Chains A and B, each alone.
Chain A
Amino acid sequence: MGRIHTTEWMKIDLSSFDTRRKTMIRGNPVELCVSPYDIPQAVRAIIDISEKYLTIEFKYLTEENTIERKESDSITYILGVRSSRLYGIKFNIEELTEGKPLKHKITRRDVAFGAINVLLRESPQEAPKDNYELVMDALRAKESELLATA
């Protein structure tokens, strides 16, 4: 059985997010806001030392069943079955272990933000992109606590 270390759920200060989205409706500029269901309320990290996985999980207003979607050998998305919201990202941190030459080291930050950028770029139009953008903001807000976990 691996050594698993889990942080507490860290509440996210919603006022720190810019939830406004400018768009055009019937030829007129309008400012809307992201749906409250798409805004992450809290975040935590889970490190599985023996399996060398770091999972960052997000909490929302409501819960749902999730499904894992493997993006690559090192990145797996955890998505809501019905909403396709990002409930977590699981990534292989073997790349980040000590002993590797500095120029080959990929930071956890690069991997985490890179994974979300791929999701934003490659998701279909009906995917909740507002949610993915806010997940990026949540990660940025709690970067030091989450990505330094070991």
Chain B
Amino acid sequence: MIRTFWLGRTEKAFEIIQIIGTPLLLISGAMLKATPSDFEKWGFIKHLVELNQQNAFIIIPLLTIVVGTVSFLKKRLGNANNWNTITYLLEKYKKAIFENNQDNKDIANDPEHHHRITLYKFARWRWGICLYPWQGWMIPVARTGHTTHSFRIPRFRVFPSDPDKAEGVAGQTYVRRRTVPVENLPEINEQSSDIDIENYAVKGFVNKQWIEKRKKKNNCFIRSMIGIPVEVKNKTWGVMVIDSRRPEGISNESVLATAQFTTMAEVLGKLLEN
């Protein structure tokens, strides 16, 4: 729901801007040819025509930029309905892996936010306040569940020219184009030893500073996860990370063997094309 949370609202705002801005642009252009004295009877319109003609050099380019930018952003961000469908697909898949787990029925009773699927997209440039926005980033665009959807979801740097440096399971999965399973991560809390923190950093492809920062904010720490590359038009588009607070791991076989994965991969690719 990350994108859909604000996308639905901004999509409406964009539509309003387009509906108002496009006719205004056309009218402004048409008014350039009008003669103000023809509108003596209608003082207000005469005033508008004069104002438009005096300031057309600002009004027309400004309206063009605004309408053009809004159209561009609308296309780039995608359709809210598409994102709702993507989230729905991820939810069904999560259910197939965790809640219908025949090997461990306890998992079905775990709180929803203990097992999640997050979809990350690769972006060459990160629009936001951060160091090195140009280094290639994995940005979260969709997540299962209705909680843990804030802007605090970590973004990870990718370093396409130096794959070893890619951060997090999301980063490593993207650069290596392989499924990256991680299990038995140590529990991290105020009492965690330096060895546990070091172990977590190594297995999770993050650094100790990242862990310390999250500890201070009382963020939860995942105990196992698996990153699966996601392709759109047969090129790696991003990554799906399935994470759990249970340490025992999510096996490659369990995530891929389910028939849900095949259907989801096909449909997801088509939806993400748009």
- Interface residues of A, Cβ cutoff 8 Å to B: 14-15, 19-21, 23, 25-26, 28, 30-37, 41, 61-62, 64, 80-83, 85, 128, 130
Of A19, A36, A85, A130, the most chain B CB neighbours within 10 A belong to A36
List B contacts of A33 (CB < 8 A).
Answer: 178-181, 252
Query: Chain A contacts of B177 at CB under 8 A?
Result: 35, 128
CB within 8 Å for A62 and B172 given contacts A32-B179, A33-B181: no
Return the CB mask of B241-269 against A: 1 if under 8 Å, else 0: 00000000000110011000110011001
A32–B228 CA distance with the chains assembled, in angstroms: 10
Residue from B202, B229, B233 in contact with A26 in the complex, judged by beta carbons closer than 8 Å: B202
Contact B231 A37 (CB under 8 A): yes
| Contact status B265-A61, CB under 8 Å | yes
Say whether B235 faces chain A, with CB atoms less than 8 Å apart.
Answer: yes
Q: List 6 A-B contacts (CB under 8 A).
A: A26-B205, A33-B252, A34-B178, A61-B265, A81-B234, A128-B177
Nearest A residue to B227 by beta-carbon distance? A32
Q: With an 8 A cutoff between CB atoms, is B164 at the interface?
A: yes
- CB pair A28 B269 closer than 8 Å: no
Residue from A14, A62, A82, A85 within 8 A of B269 (CB atoms): A62
Q: Which residue of B lies closest to A23 (CB)?
A: B176
Per a CB cutoff under 8 Å, which of A14, A26, A35 touches B179? A35
Nearest CB in chain A: distance from B209 CB, A: 15
Contact: B266 with A61, CB < 8 Å?
yes
Q: How many Å from the CB of B235 to the closest CB on chain A? A: 6
Residues of B within 8 A of A82 (CB): 233-235
A-B contact count (CB 8 A): 67
Contact (Cβ within 8 A) B178 A35? yes
Chain A CB count within 10 A is highest, among B176, B205, B231, B266, for B231
Supposing A32-B178, A62-B265 touch, asked if A15 and B234 sit within 8 A by C-beta, the answer is no
User: Interface on B for A, CB 8 Å cutoff?
Assistant: 164, 172, 176-181, 202, 205, 228-229, 231, 233-235, 252-253, 256-257, 261-262, 265-266, 269
Chain B residues whose CB sits within 8 angstroms of the CB of A30 once the complex forms: 180
* A12 to B40 Cα, complex, angstroms: 82
Residues of A within 8 A of B229 (CB): 35, 37
Q: What separation, in Å, do the CA atoms of A25 and B269 have in the docked complex?
A: 29
Task: Name the distance in Å between A98's Cβ and chain B's nearest Cβ.
Answer: 41
B231 nearest CB across to chain A (Å): 5
- A14 CA to B205 CA, complexed, in Å: 29
Residue of A nearest to B228 (CB): A36
Residue of B nearest to A31 (CB): B181
Q: For the complex, what is the distance from the CA of A62 to the CA of B261, rounded to whole Å?
A: 12
Residue of A nearest to B166 (CB): A25
Which single residue of chain B is at the shortest CB-CB distance from A60? B234
- Name the residue on A nearest B172 (C-beta): A25
Question: Chain B residue with minimal CB distance to A83?
Answer: B234
Please, which residues of chain A bring their CB within 8 A of the CB of B205?
25-26
Roughly how many angstroms separate A128 CA and B176 CA in the complex, as a whole number? 11
Specify which chain B residues have a CB less than 8 angstroms from the CB of A20 in the assembled complex: 252
Docked CA distance A62–B230 (Å): 11
Chain A contacts for B228, CB-based, 8 A: 35-36
**B251 nearest CB neighbor, chain A only:** A33
- Which partner residue on chain A sits nearest B256 by CB separation? A36
List residues of chain B with CB within 8 A of the CB of A32.
176, 178-181
A61 to chain B, nearest CB (A): 5
Q: Report how far A135 CA is from B214 CA in the complex, Å.
A: 43
